[in-house]
Structure 1
Amino acid sequence: MTASHDQAPPTRAEELLRLDSQICFALHAASRAFSGVYRTALRELELTYPQYLVMLVLWESDGVPVKEIGARLRLDSGTLSPLLKRLEAAGLIRRLRSEQDERSVEIHLSAAGEALRERALDVPRQIADATGMPVAELKDLRARVAALTAAIDGVQAQGESCP
């Protein structure tokens, strides 16, 4: 008899330590899977996924301060600045000092950045198709993940440990 047959079944506490029991790993694996699908969908737009996220923010509202983009995307300035420089070098955005506050830099779409929006309209459909899930289920899942994120943010803001 091998050692694996001699082992007792895992206890409830041991079961919780299994990789497949971790919500964080399930979300991480899904994120990595999405990254691959987005890489393919964004190839023809010549955008990386983080660049696409910046463009989504700007397509919603042009002339956004860098700090606001960072806050919306949960990116620090050390990550966001090189990303913006690459988008500017590609001719998709312009960085301009705010007229209201010289210390603030606003990001504006260039004509090419605005035109790219039309080419990007099919990306969400490609991503939805790749999931194999109905749109209603995807909307529900997105809402549930957003609620999960808000709950975790609330715990972290209070300085508490997770239950």
Structure 2
Amino acid sequence: MQHQESLKLQNQLCFPLYVIAKEITGLYRPFLDELDITYPQYLVMMVLWENDGLSVNHIGEKLYLDSGTLTPLLKRLENKGFISRKRKKEDERVVEVFITEAGKALQTKACEIPAKIYKKIDATEEDWLDLKTSVMKILNKIEK
């Protein structure tokens, strides 16, 4: 009987994590629609706003995405004019990604999004920090 209890949805850690990720991502949708980007594209842009000129591989490492997933995201962002991709002169196998002027303008608009999300959820700063700390602790154990 113990074994059957372990398979109940209510006893799973993965399920509430899945649901909260899906729900929080959904909260971003209307704000990102205004900017004409998706949530995964927003993640890529945040990485580049932090460190412009990263290689595709480095972006993938930061976002836990493989190049097969990342390349189409980058192509769409490039088609929208937010980034440019260039092969490194020293090693043409390496593609670096740079923010364009339109990408910099997008950053200015995107700066308002985190505060809007915090307001929608109405959690304390301490709640957010506790949740992030717990999730990062688990993620670090998974990575080892």
- For 1:124 and 1:15, locate their aligned partners in 2 and report how far apart those are by CA, in whole Å: 38
TM superposition shift of 1:32: 1.0
**How many residues align structurally?**
144
TM superposition shift of 1:124: 0.7
Q: 1:76 aligns with which of 48, 66, 69?
A: 66
* TM-score, with length taken from structure 2: 0.94
- For 1:143 and 1:129, locate their aligned partners in 2 and report how far apart those are by CA, in whole Å: 20
TM superposition shift of 1:140: 1.7
- SS of structure 2 residue aligned to 1:47: coil
Instruction: Please tell me whether Structure 1 or Structure 2 has the larger radius of gyration of its CA atoms.
Output: 1
Q: Which residue type is aligned with residue 9 of structure 2? A: L
TM superposition shift of 1:72: 0.6
Residue 55 of structure 2 aligns with which residue?
A: 65
Q: 1:30 aligns with which of 4, 11, 20?
A: 20
Alignment of 1:14-163 (within 5 A): 14-154=4-144
Give percent identity, aligned residues only. 44
- SS of structure 2 residue aligned to 1:75: coil
TM superposition shift of 1:12: 4.4
* TM-score, with length taken from structure 1: 0.84
Q: Which consecutive residues of structure 1, in runs of 5 or more, have no partner in the other structure?
A: 1-10, 155-163
TM superposition shift of 1:49: 0.2
Moved over 4 A (4+): none
- For 2:110 and 2:135, locate their aligned partners in 1 and report how far apart those are by CA, in whole Å: 24
Describe the shift of the 1:136–1:97 C-alpha distance in structure 2 as closer, same or farther (beyond 3 A).
same
TM superposition shift of 1:100: 3.4
Q: Which consecutive residues of structure 2, in runs of 5 or more, have no partner in the other structure?
A: none
Aligned CA RMSD, in angstroms, stands at 1.2
